[in-house]
Structure 1
């Protein structure tokens, strides 16, 4: 009985060994037959790897000429590398006749991309917006812009945010998506900037003299104003305590700080000129009238208090 079991086990082991040897022989034959394709596929992968490096460097140099942001350049360079390497991988799989594996890989990549896209929708939106902003010619590093309630110099455009430096040297970080979805005023796109200044004079003033003096004062203190006729002057209203006017003129500048400096200069010059000519710039005055019917004679009031 024992010998019979031993013989049966021996036959099973021998049969399994024969199957294993046959399978190894088949694999060996398949390897020999597909060896040229495998070598060709390996060569394609190596070529695609080195091509990706050179193409990535070339794309990086081209992008740097148009986009000053290093982060954007690195992103496009890395994307180029990935695309070239993936193309080489798919070509190598096709050479090896692994179409099923190729389809599975593409399906998995599509599903993974969809999941990642849904999970990182906000971040991807900011990233894409950053790429779009980097290629816009009307927004550059160093421009003075106003957007989303902030005004300042553009110091950096990253993949996720837009950084501006305000006049008080504070930096404001704004998401790129917000920049694209809201209006943006770029003061640097033109080298001319209009300055508007308001003021008021007393009702006793000679208005023609006020207009002439104001225009001449602006012309004398602002070099960019060539003639007094280039200064716009308009009386606006009869105010509570003054007749109000605005004066407008243009300066040659690409920075909003120059607008503030021009205002500062003109305000001091107008104040000095009005003081010299005796023209009053009144502050708000409120007059109170009492009509009670009482006799408020100062003498009688004093006598009443002294008696008490």
Structure 2
């Protein structure tokens, strides 16, 4: 019995001695691994700050700049951890951890597919030079000023001051018209004049009125004018000209100014802008020719 206890005790002592020997042998490696981890941590913090400053110059959205800088820092920490485990001959352990993390990441990715797709779309939109905060855009049936692009949603403020919030994925997958990419917009005016009007006078007066009303229009020759059809009550035309504008509000203001000035000019020149006319016929030839039918109608 005593010999058995002594043997067990010797086994424990020898095991502890071997662990102690191993610990002493790996102490330099352990210190080096700790040094690598600490270095990776401080380098990651430095890279995080530098990346944030660089990305902030390209992207106006703070949330996007933060997540990109943090991703770069996490990548550096993972690299430092991998090197440290390699120094301790534990790289296989890290491989197992990464495999487990990959499986867990796949499961989480499938569960949060829409959220992740919106996040990725938000990052992509933030780096697109042709879509910036402050632009006037039209997409998915809405038109307004871009006031925010974050990791989840795309925010517009319409002309009536309503806020429209759309998932980033919808913006990336659908056509988008950006009115702010050019400094000029074309204004179109449709109107009609009476059949008694002198069409040459109407054309010349309209083009001259537009040229006088807008500094951007240098001469009447820069104004497009086309008669389009013989309408029910008027001869209709289309007038188009270019202005310096980057959003729809400026275009609407210019159109309003053009309509007011054209109306004043037409009133002064006594040019009629007719409204639709309907002729009502009250004579009933059938009733005059056959009075009995009128009696039958009144009795019913």
Q: Verify same fold: TM over 0.5.
A: yes
Report the counterpart of residue 275 of structure 1 in structure 2.
Answer: 267
Distance 1:12 1:201 in 2: 120
Q: How does 1:154-233 map to 2 (within 5 A)?
A: 154-233=146-225
Distance 1:278 1:293 in 2: 43
Q: Which segments of 5 or more consecutive residues in structure 2 lack a partner in the other structure?
A: 290-300
The structural deviation recorded for 1:11 is 5.0
After TM superposition, the structure 1 stretch with the greater mean CA deviation from structure 2, 113-122 or 71-80, is 113-122
Spell out, residue by residue over 1:35-75, the C-alpha distance to the aligned partner (whole angstroms, 9 max, x if none).
11111111110000000000111111111111111011101
Distance 1:170 1:14 in 2: 86
Whose radius of gyration is greater, 1 or 2?
Answer: 1
**How many residue pairs were aligned?**
288
Report the counterpart of residue 114 of structure 1 in structure 2.
Answer: 106
The structural deviation recorded for 1:149 is 1.0
Distance 1:13 1:170 in 2: 84
With the length of structure 1 as denominator, give the TM-score of the two structures.
Answer: 0.90
Distance 1:13 1:205 in 2: 125
Report the counterpart of residue 85 of structure 1 in structure 2.
Answer: 77
Spell out, residue by residue over 1:240-279, the C-alpha distance to the aligned partner (whole angstroms, 9 max, x if none).
2211111000001112211001011111111111122221
Report the counterpart of residue 298 of structure 2 in structure 1.
Answer: none
With the length of structure 2 as denominator, give the TM-score of the two structures.
Answer: 0.92
Q: Which segments of 5 or more consecutive residues in structure 1 lack a partner in the other structure?
A: 1-7, 297-308
Report the counterpart of residue 129 of structure 1 in structure 2.
Answer: 121
Distance 1:97 1:160 in 2: 42
The structural deviation recorded for 1:288 is 2.8
Distance 2:145 2:92 in 1: 55
Spell out, residue by residue over 1:68-117, the C-alpha distance to the aligned partner (whole angstroms, 9 max, x if none).
11011101111011000000001111110013212211211211121121
Q: How does 1:237-276 map to 2 (within 5 A)?
A: 237-276=229-268
Report the counterpart of residue 70 of structure 1 in structure 2.
Answer: 62
Asked if residue 140 in structure 1 is aligned to residue 129 in structure 2, the reply is: no
Distance 2:268 2:250 in 1: 27
Report the counterpart of residue 287 of structure 2 in structure 1.
Answer: 294
Distance 2:221 2:37 in 1: 74
| Aligned-partner SS, 2:285 | coil
Distance 2:219 2:142 in 1: 34
Q: How does 1:20-59 map to 2 (within 5 A)?
A: 20-59=12-51
The structural deviation recorded for 1:15 is 3.7
Report the counterpart of residue 305 of structure 1 in structure 2.
Answer: none
- RMSD between superposed Cα atoms in Å: 1.5
The structural deviation recorded for 1:132 is 0.9
Distance 2:73 2:58 in 1: 20
Distance 2:100 2:4 in 1: 41
